[in-house]
Structure 1
Amino acid sequence: MSGLCGWVSTEPAALPVEDMAASFAGGRTPRCAGHGLGAVALAAGPEEASLYHQDGLLIVHWGERVEALARLWRTHGARACAALSGHFAFALLDERRGEALLAVDRCATRPLYWQMAGRSLLFASSSEALARHPGAGRELDAQAVFDYLYLHAVHGPGSMFAGQRRLAPGECLHLHGGRVERIRYWRMRYTEHAAEQAPHTELLDALSCALDAGAERTGAALMLGGGAAGTLLATLLQRGAADPLRSYAVGFGSGGAGMLARARAAARKAGSRHREQTITAGDAADAIDALIQACEAPCGDPGAVAMLFAARMAREDGCTHLHGAFGAAQLFGRGRYAGLARTNRYERLPAALRQLAIEPLLFGLGARLPGTFERVRTRIELSMAPPLARLRRRNPLLAYGWAAMFEPDFLELLDPELPAARQEEAWWLAQARSPANRAIDLSLQGDLPCRIVPAFAAACAASNLEPVLPFLDDAVVAMAARLAPRHKLGRGPRRLFAQALREVGAAQAAHSACVLPFGHWLQSDARLRALAYDSLSDLAGRRILRREFIDLLLARRLPEDPASHGQTVWRLMMLEGWLARARRDGFRRQPEQRQPEQRGAGRCGAEPDSAALVAG
């Protein structure tokens, strides 16, 4: 594991900065430095991160070219962030100016948390590290727990700990004149009417540029899933590598045979040294604890199991970095929210057919008929709703019912409408007009940096590997922003990648993803089922969920629909595991007390904290 942390304060230190770094140092001695404005600590290899300390300027920098950052800061101040490129996260403390700057890259591939504690600004790449500081506190945030179950991840600006804030993609925090200011130095701006002639060549050029940035690494390794993005990545990596590429694929029993076959064909065509592994329910049960220990927050993505086994194979072969094609689906219209941009197929039917035949049958004579008639009515009503209404109605928490799912005392501590309101705000704040680009921006602001990238990073960290995400390189992101919406709708992404694969002579690949059959494994494997029952039984004692809901979920809903309800069981198991790791017993209201004024917190731009919670 690796990370950075520290504080900006002129007051005496509350603890040694290396103690704050203990949660991510992994037994290594972190590099530490300090001056009159604060202190920093860094636990990472010298090729991944740097510690700069000259002329009163102290920088702990995850990324490359820390000297360039120092020059930009001296010349441009906080505007230096807009001139940076690549993947980075840094904290800069300038003793002479009395200023500090925290920032993350345009996709927030490295997290950075911060919190005001009196007149001190605390920061860390891990929320656990930040919570180790006595001024930060370890109260859990009930709103974050609800958001995790609603969104399948803890989306920014908060974290699982009350009072903490996380920098958003393309955001920096500037401390100057005794106050902090959140600045959005970059936002993705989409081109709605591009007239490109050969977008696949632009994609190849951008991806090649991203891979050239890491060309000095030897022995490249890739998690290969048999999809078009991974196949294209394998071909380009092998073409520019001095040593043979190592590729790894993970399948799930008989259902993953097709995916493994596609990955095998792609590896054969690319000429990589390929390994594959078929995992079972027992392997998934073994992986759960490793993911709980490695993840910064509860892991809402069951696909992290496959990531973990791919990382383990890479580590066994002596690799130090693992490439992944994550981000391609989100950038090019195949992500979780892609359905919001699709046109309503029902309205394509002739008006006479809809008004004279279908609607009188479904909503007239068959209005009260259950079964197939009810399902078709629901599908039509959902398809005709606005995009954000469709997104809300498809959320499983809405189907379960908040009152039936959560304890009343827990619901009083939060706003159940807040996650949907934040999604709506992100939708309308996107610098785009088309639904296709708005859906992409929704993924780039939340699902990608808060769920997918952390899952891959945690799987790599558990095997002491560094994750590499070429599709989130600045060149590829900029190319996706220029791409016309028609290439991100329907079969547009499939055609785009098919043309790129033909251009480089790679094997054609499918776009369909293989989903971990966690719910079906719960039904067939006694050990995994016992683990789930014990975990959810412990969770029921924390006064978050109603025990009646958990009993109904396991006894009736899971057998009826293992695919969807199995995902819910996974998220609840990971929540309980994380709470057990944090040694939290439950929630109760914190006694009312007058909070001390936080000096230097003006203009921070953060919304008020939700109710603080303490262990019960």
Structure 2
Amino acid sequence: MCGILGHPRPRSTDWERALASLRFRGDDSVGTVCLQGCQLGVQRLAITDPAANQPLVFGEKPHRLAIAFNGNLAHPARWRARLAMGGHPCSTRNDAEIPLRLYEAEGLEGLLELEGGFAFGLFDEGRGRLLLARDSFGEKPLFLHGGDESLPHFASTPWACLLVGGEGAPELGPEDAGQFLRFGWVDWEQTSFGMGARELPRGEVWEFDHAGLRRREKLAAPPLSETEANGRGEEALDACLLRAVAGRTGGDRPLGLLLSGGLDSSTLAVALARLHKRTASFCLDFQGEAPESPRAARVAAHLGHPFFSRAIGPEALLAWEAGVRAAGRPLGDPSFLAAYEVARLAREEGVGILLSGEGGDEAFVGYGRQRATPWLQLGRTLLPRPLRSALAGLPLEGRGERLLRALGRDDPAEGYADLCAQAARPELERLLGVDLRARPKAFDQARHLPGDPTADPLLQASLTEERGYLPQDLCPKLDTATLMAGIEGRAPLLDRRLFALARRMRDTHPSEREGKGPLRAWLAPFLPRELRHGPKRGFGPPIARWLADRRYLDALLSDPFVQRHAPWNHRVSQSWLAELRRGHLARALPLFALGSLAHFLRLIKTLPHG
């Protein structure tokens, strides 16, 4: 894991400040290489082959190849063997060398079969070409700015991208604020959030020369093995899961597992045990709440994994601002705080690589809102529009309110956006003081859904999660939280073969469309029934109770700089806080998102305003 940076002609002060802002992503070494036409930099967290510093450079002037690489590749040993057989042996065990050698041997086409969690910039000095690539699920970030008529500059965070380009302070507008407050995330592939930098689309390789973008390719869909393609459901799933987990366990640092006791993390725990990898497992409890660690401890003990846990309280909010500064963007998911505390615990126990279960809900329909979509579509068909509109106006709170609001929508895409929302549009219009209905782009998550109304609603919902919540919330959360603790986070279930197989199983076995059925069946020989069934597990902190503590949010929202530059009505935000303290728990998530925006504004304060 690393922080990477690139610019065709950076000013030295901008370069140094941008590279320093990435230090949280790796402080084992820092390197810069100046080539004719491009400068690359890396803040490295050395997980494999610590002596192989980055950026890696091969060849002689003026025909050098250089790469700034972040993340890890799946099954790197197989790639090294393939390259050696083709006459391009690797001289290091650093994953960064693999795409460099593949490009040397096969050009851009050689990069299209890469799998894992990665992002990189590769510069071909002789041809004046810059290639930017990112993994299929968005596990690792990569932001770029410019590139219309020249080489772009790029970085691992939008903040570093802003710094290295020497741009002035961005302005946070009500449209971006509205989208973030409604969902807790924005689509950085579609918006720059006022910062100028957008995220490279997941699963793509872009090639630039000094005239701009010249070629854009998608990563190839990996082929299924014979067993995965033609085996019985459980047999194919077994082969696919073990291959996916085995491919993401390599490295020179000890391995750990984030184990909540839920199905996804328990699946990883079983797969690791079957691969004969005794893995330290880590869980978290929240003071004053029912503990989750006893169930996780039973899973670990049953499989022979060492187990560690700790309990945390509202003091975890002290890491909130540091997380926003590290990510270089607002973080709207309070479970980031829990992920960071678990990662800190793992680091204290000597772990350098922490596996996590992101992707299981998206692949195996684990969210209730996904499974609600076929029923909502049926309701839209059977119930007249006036009745649905009346039901949508009932004074409910929480999940019931979102379901009825979604039922009232004629457009299923906008209905699913209601299911995902943590604040209703009218409330946000009151907060932001603008008619957001006249700005649909601020809320347009419907672009994630196929427009065909006859399409499978469950598939629509799953694609929405895979293209929105997963890469824009879950992946940044794991990436930032683990790196802040000085370790690398990996999500082995983010595997394209596994997602393809899960979708095929839903299509051929309708009974498995109810969510997580295939995983429960797969776990049956290895865990007792009581450890395979029960409520959904996770690390969601009691954020309503924490934010009610006056030590944290009051001073933040009262900061004079925040009040001067924030696009929201401060009287309304204070009324939300008062409502939360009177027991209106639905205010908690929007208030956390609002606090993240305030921390983001304080980060902007460090740049001169024009």
Give the alignment's TM-score, normalised by structure 1.
0.80
Q: Secondary structure at the match of 2:127?
A: coil
Do 2:41 and 2:55's aligned partners in 1 also have CA atoms closer than 8 Å? Answer: no
Matched, 1:213 2:247: yes
What is the alpha-carbon distance in structure 2 between the residues aligned to residue 256 and residue 109 of structure 1? 31
Q: Secondary structure at the match of 2:120?
A: strand
Q: Secondary structure at the match of 1:436?
A: helix
| From 248, 264, 269, the counterpart of 1:234 | 269
Matched, 1:517 2:515: no
Matched, 1:97 2:127: yes
Encode CA deviations 1:405-452: one digit per residue, 9 max, x unaligned. Answer: 1145xx79x97311433x22221279x942222222222222111111
What is the alpha-carbon distance in structure 1 between the residues aligned to residue 110 and residue 451 of structure 2? 24
Do 1:294 and 1:459's aligned partners in 2 also have CA atoms closer than 8 Å? Answer: no
The aligned counterpart of 1:555 is: 578
What is the alpha-carbon distance in structure 1 between the residues aligned to residue 394 and residue 156 of structure 2? 52
What is the alpha-carbon distance in structure 1 between the residues aligned to residue 532 and residue 448 of structure 2? 35
What is the alpha-carbon distance in structure 1 between the residues aligned to residue 517 and residue 580 of structure 2? 39
Note the C-alpha offset of 1:215: 4.2
| From 137, 153, 159, the counterpart of 1:122 | 153
Encode CA deviations 1:494-527: one digit per residue, 9 max, x unaligned. Answer: 321111101345642435135322113444xxxx
The one-letter code of the counterpart of 1:466 is: E
Note the C-alpha offset of 1:95: 1.9
Note the C-alpha offset of 1:60: 1.9
Q: Secondary structure at the match of 1:567?
A: helix
The aligned counterpart of 1:542 is: 565
Matched, 1:277 2:314: no
| From 428, 431, 451, the counterpart of 1:405 | 431
Q: Secondary structure at the match of 2:115?
A: coil
| From 24, 27, 51, the counterpart of 2:56 | 51
What is the alpha-carbon distance in structure 1 between the residues aligned to residue 388 and residue 368 of structure 2? 31
Taking the TM superposition and a 5 Å limit, the aligned residue runs for 1:416-565 are 416-421=439-444, 423-428=445-450, 433-485=455-507, 492-505=514-527, 507-510=531-534, 512-514=536-538, 515-523=540-548, 528-538=549-559, 539-556=562-579, 559-562=582-585, 564-565=586-587
Do 2:153 and 2:165's aligned partners in 1 also have CA atoms closer than 8 Å? Answer: no
Encode CA deviations 1:171-224: one digit per residue, 9 max, x unaligned. Answer: 222113612157350488999xx9977433333322211222244446421111
Encode CA deviations 1:120-177: one digit per residue, 9 max, x unaligned. Answer: 4211112222122244444245244333223311312234443211112112221136
What is the alpha-carbon distance in structure 2 between the residues aligned to residue 363 and residue 450 of structure 1? 31
Q: Secondary structure at the match of 1:83?
A: coil
Encode CA deviations 1:513-545: one digit per residue, 9 max, x unaligned. Answer: 35322113444xxxx333212222234443411
The one-letter code of the counterpart of 1:338 is: Q
Deviates more, 1:478-487 or 1:458-467: 478-487
Q: Secondary structure at the match of 2:551?
A: helix
Do 2:258 and 2:355's aligned partners in 1 also have CA atoms closer than 8 Å? Answer: yes
Q: Secondary structure at the match of 2:343?
A: helix
Change (3 A) 1:150 1:181: farther
Deviates more, 1:112-121 or 1:203-212: 112-121
Deviates more, 1:284-293 or 1:127-136: 284-293
Deviates more, 1:439-448 or 1:49-58: 49-58
Fraction of identical pairs, as percent: 21
Change (3 A) 1:181 1:397: farther
Change (3 A) 1:493 1:182: farther
The one-letter code of the counterpart of 1:298 is: P
What is the alpha-carbon distance in structure 1 between the residues aligned to residue 552 and residue 578 of structure 2? 15
The one-letter code of the counterpart of 2:164 is: H
Do 2:159 and 2:329's aligned partners in 1 also have CA atoms closer than 8 Å? Answer: no
What is the alpha-carbon distance in structure 1 between the residues aligned to residue 97 and residue 29 of structure 2? 24
What is the alpha-carbon distance in structure 2 between the residues aligned to residue 535 and residue 371 of structure 1? 31
Q: Secondary structure at the match of 1:472?
A: coil
Change (3 A) 1:566 1:124: same
Q: Secondary structure at the match of 1:484?
A: helix
Change (3 A) 1:570 1:57: same
What is the alpha-carbon distance in structure 1 between the residues aligned to residue 424 and residue 221 of structure 2? 31
The aligned counterpart of 2:294 is: 261
Q: Secondary structure at the match of 1:139?
A: coil
Change (3 A) 1:520 1:16: closer
Do 1:115 and 1:136's aligned partners in 2 also have CA atoms closer than 8 Å? Answer: no
Change (3 A) 1:512 1:41: same
What is the alpha-carbon distance in structure 2 between the residues aligned to residue 573 and residue 475 of structure 1? 38
What is the alpha-carbon distance in structure 2 between the residues aligned to residue 348 and residue 415 of structure 1? 25
Taking the TM superposition and a 5 Å limit, the aligned residue runs for 1:243-322 are 244-257=278-291, 259-281=292-314, 283-322=315-354
Note the C-alpha offset of 1:99: 1.6
What is the alpha-carbon distance in structure 2 between the residues aligned to residue 368 and residue 170 of structure 1? 38
The one-letter code of the counterpart of 2:37 is: L
Note the C-alpha offset of 1:228: 0.9
Note the C-alpha offset of 1:97: 1.7
The aligned counterpart of 2:85 is: none
Taking the TM superposition and a 5 Å limit, the aligned residue runs for 1:265-414 are 265-281=298-314, 283-335=315-367, 338-339=370-371, 341-344=373-376, 347=379, 382-383=406-407, 385=409, 386-394=411-419, 395-408=421-434
Q: Which consecutive residues of structure 1, in runs of 5 or more, have no partner in the other structure?
A: 586-613
Taking the TM superposition and a 5 Å limit, the aligned residue runs for 1:32-47 are 32-47=32-47
What is the alpha-carbon distance in structure 2 between the residues aligned to residue 81 and residue 368 of structure 1? 49
What is the alpha-carbon distance in structure 1 between the residues aligned to residue 287 and residue 293 of structure 2? 10
Greater length-normalized contact order (CA 8 Å, ≥ 6 residues apart): 1
Change (3 A) 1:341 1:348: closer
Note the C-alpha offset of 1:490: 7.7
Do 1:407 and 1:543's aligned partners in 2 also have CA atoms closer than 8 Å? Answer: no
The aligned counterpart of 2:87 is: none
Change (3 A) 1:45 1:545: closer
**Alignment root-mean-square deviation, CA:** 3.9
What is the alpha-carbon distance in structure 2 between the residues aligned to residue 235 and residue 271 of structure 1? 10
Change (3 A) 1:536 1:45: closer
Do 1:82 and 1:185's aligned partners in 2 also have CA atoms closer than 8 Å? Answer: yes
Note the C-alpha offset of 1:461: 1.4
The one-letter code of the counterpart of 1:210 is: A
What is the alpha-carbon distance in structure 1 between the residues aligned to residue 371 and residue 181 of structure 2? 21
Deviates more, 1:383-392 or 1:162-171: 383-392
What is the alpha-carbon distance in structure 2 between the residues aligned to residue 56 and residue 195 of structure 1? 42
The aligned counterpart of 1:607 is: none
Taking the TM superposition and a 5 Å limit, the aligned residue runs for 1:162-201 are 162-176=195-209, 178-181=211-214, 183-186=216-219, 198-201=232-235
Do 1:249 and 1:310's aligned partners in 2 also have CA atoms closer than 8 Å? Answer: yes
What is the alpha-carbon distance in structure 1 between the residues aligned to residue 297 and residue 55 of structure 2? 39
Change (3 A) 1:491 1:50: same
Do 1:344 and 1:384's aligned partners in 2 also have CA atoms closer than 8 Å? Answer: no
Change (3 A) 1:573 1:490: farther
Give the alignment's TM-score, normalised by structure 2.
0.81
What is the alpha-carbon distance in structure 1 between the residues aligned to residue 504 and residue 223 of structure 2? 6
The one-letter code of the counterpart of 1:4 is: I
The aligned counterpart of 2:89 is: none
Change (3 A) 1:232 1:437: same
| From 59, 79, 83, the counterpart of 2:109 | 79
What is the alpha-carbon distance in structure 1 between the residues aligned to residue 594 and residue 20 of structure 2? 28
Do 1:584 and 1:615's aligned partners in 2 also have CA atoms closer than 8 Å? Answer: no
